[in-house]
Amino acid sequence: GQAKAEKYFSSAFQGVNFGAQQEEWHAIVEHFDEQVMLGFFKTEEEAARAVDDYRANVQALKRVNFPEEGKDLLQQANTETNSKYVGVTRQISKKMWRSQIVVNKKLEFLGYFDDEVGAAR
């Protein structure tokens, strides 16, 4: 038989859609002209927060779904510097290097490290 096309319903939040077939909320963002799936969530709010976290911590963007929380996220993002390694940023306020990767289209936080090379491994 023919596969049914998934029906998606929009959310009031940016980057969030509801997938009727999975009955879960999807968080999706654009990054370097490609869509990045951040994962599936039970609630619309959880998906929206995932979008906010990605935008603030990875992209350092100002567009967030929860502006009050976003101010803190943006402040945190502005205290970071990029590394020569992908997925590694220096968090100045903690004086440590943060490591994160995308696994199965979901952003995974790996931890904080004392040095840049350690965060990259």
pLDDT band at 11 (very low <50, low <70, confident <90, very high): confident
| Residue-level pLDDT at 6 | 54
- The residues, any chain, with a CB within 8 Å of residue 104's CB and separated by 6 or more, are none
pLDDT at 86 over 60: yes
Question: CA separation (Å) from 89 to 24, 105, 119?
Answer: 31, 20, 9
Q: Which residue has the higher pLDDT, 115 or 67?
A: 115
| Residue-level pLDDT at 33 | 80
Question: Quick one: average pLDDT of 13-39?
Answer: 86
